[in-house]
Amino acid sequence: MKILVCISQVPDTSTKIVLKDNNTAINNQGVTYVINPYDEWYALVRALELKEAGIASDIHLITVGKVDTEPVIRKALALGGDEAIRIDADSHDPYETANYIAEYAKTVGYDLILCGKESIDYNNGAVGAMLAELLDTDYIGFASDIQTDGKTATVKREIEGGEETDTCSLPVVIACQKGVAEARIPNMRGIMAARTRPLKVVAPAAVSSVTEILSYELPPAKAGIKMVSADNMDELVELLHAEAKVI
């Protein structure tokens, strides 16, 4: 069984974001980029578990990005991927990204495609579903548990107010979230080996984007703390009602 894991590069949550060009772009200087946690901790690690159990034979990693994304895909290789593919394009449009991945996936033929439920930068959560549609396969989102025998997949997923369990035949695209697997840290041997392993760079398919980012806006700065005496409940209630507007 061949598995494809989609990897996206996102800013570390501790990084301070600075905008430029009249708030139409992010200043990348000084920004630390990491693997999207949903892709790394859940999608990739679950793929590794399936390989270790003898169910999967090959794990391929794919990302859409320019050369600056290679450190991120190499970290994924260090965790245990067999082959890494970088589609040489810079896109923030989920439709465009899904098309790039789909066109490559069609040339290989994967039994299982795993991705995170969303990326933590844009939070679109759309690439997985679009990818399944473009490949004409089933799609299951918000997966918290994945079991497969190589022919069918049984997936527990989160729904409003509870959980449901779905079963479908492979191939299938599954978007993963917390619960699918436990996070891993790459060991030094894997890190050193990943530095010299070749990356397969693929030209992007001819696809036109359907969305465009017009501008960014940073969240408002946090207000200062207002101290209220413990014995003055009336003032506290008034502040919560009139200023914080939470009651």
Give the pLDDT confidence of 10-50 residue by residue, as tens digits: 999 888 888 999 998 888 888 889 999 999 999 999 999 99
Report the residue count for the chain: 247
d(CA 90, CA 98): 13
pTM for the whole structure: 0.86
Question: Which residues face 158 on adjacent strands?
Answer: 163
Strands (E), 112-211: 112-116, 138-148, 152-159, 162-169, 172-176, 200-202
d(CA 204, CA 192): 29
d(CA 104, CA 6): 12
Q: Mean pLDDT throughout 204-220?
A: 88
- For the record, the structure tokens of 203 come out as 């030209």
- For the record, the structure tokens of 156 come out as 């527990």
Residue 198 has pLDDT above 90, yes or no: no
Element (H, E) at 35: strand 33-35
Residue found under tokens 């946090």? 222
d(CA 51, CA 56): 4
Residue 9 has pLDDT above 90, yes or no: yes
- For the record, the structure tokens of 221 come out as 């700065």
Strand 138-148 with 152-159, pairing: antiparallel
What pLDDT shows up at residue 182?
85
Given the candidates 3.40.50.620, 3.60.10.10, 3.40.50.12780, 3.90.1150.10, the CATH classification of the domain at 2-220 is: 3.40.50.620
Confidence of residue 174 (pLDDT cuts 50, 70, 90): very high
Confidence of residue 100 (pLDDT cuts 50, 70, 90): very high
**In sequence order, which residues have a C-beta less than 8 Å from that of residue 210 and are 6 or more positions away?**
93, 95, 96
Backbone φ and ψ for 116, nearest 5 degrees, come out as -75, 160
Residue 186 has pLDDT above 80, yes or no: no
Contact yes or no for 62/8 (Cβ under 8 A) = no
